[in-house]
Amino acid sequence: MVWKCLRRGVAILLLSSFSLLGLTDLHAALFTPRARLPPEIVREVQVGDVVFTREPYYFLRKVADAGGSWTNHVGIIIDTSGPEPLVAESKVPRAVLTPLSRFVGRSEAGYVAIRRPQQALTQIQEKALAEAAQARIGRWYDLGFNLHSSRQFCSKLVYESLLEATGKKVGTVTDFASLLQQHPDVPQAFWRIWYLGRIPWQRETVTPASQYQSTALNTVFDASQHE
């Protein structure tokens, strides 16, 4: 059993490394122009704003495909008091705080959107959101995308932090069976390899796409014209 778990861990590590730096996307990762936000938008962002991007890596593009959307990464602004807004995000290998320009600057040019909770956050909720997100900083990335694991992934961090702070659910909790049934044109081969032949059909997750489409958020800025 120990050997089986170890072998599975090594396989996922190797696969994720290949996926993140896949040869088919190496040119995009190195040479694709990056997204930028207009200065007036940066000045107007608020704590609680959810920032959507599209990073040019094979593994994350498969995440976008599974959700039927252009976006494959998401973070949430938790601090606007410094020289630049800070975004809480879960990425490989751990959850971190990232300046907004750097967060957006990893996205392919044209692919960025900012959406805001319909009901403005109170100061108490802003503080609670910052605390909820900070509590998740440093946690390891969950390559299995399990909403109920102790690890994190990008949309899970946003979902849990907003839920704790405001009581609002941003994004749709779904299992893999329902998710892939909603997008039957998406090949399952990648996910079968990713999960070593056994897709966890009943595992619950939440996607950046469902958060981008959430009616709990209003659009502040959207430059995803390439969709």
Question: Among 157, 166, 154, which Cα is nearest to 136's?
Answer: 157
84-117 as b/e: b if 16+ CB within 10 A: ebbbbbbbeeebeebebeebbebbbebbbbbbbb
Tokens of 86: 């800070």
Residue 227 domain-assigned? no
Locus of tokens 């200065």? 39
Structurally, the chain folds into a number of domains equal to: 1
pTM greater than the 0.95 cutoff: no
Residue 1 domain-assigned? no
Q: Quote the pLDDT of residue 14.
A: 47
Residue 61 domain-assigned? yes
Owning domain of residue 113 = 7-222
Tokens of 121: 């956050």
Residue pLDDT tens, the chain, 227 long: 555 455 455 545 544 554 444 444 554 555 567 788 999 999 999 999 999 999 988 888 888 888 889 999 999 999 999 999 999 999 999 999 999 999 999 998 889 999 999 999 999 999 999 999 999 999 999 999 999 999 999 999 999 999 999 999 999 999 999 998 888 888 888 899 889 889 999 999 999 999 999 999 999 999 986 44
Question: Among 119, 125, 126, 120, which Cα is nearest to 77's?
Answer: 126
Residue 81 domain-assigned? yes
**CATH number, domain at 175?**
3.90.1720.10
Residue 60 domain-assigned? yes
Q: Quote the pLDDT of residue 21.
A: 43
Q: Quote the pLDDT of residue 30.
A: 55
Residue 2 domain-assigned? no
Residue 35 domain-assigned? yes
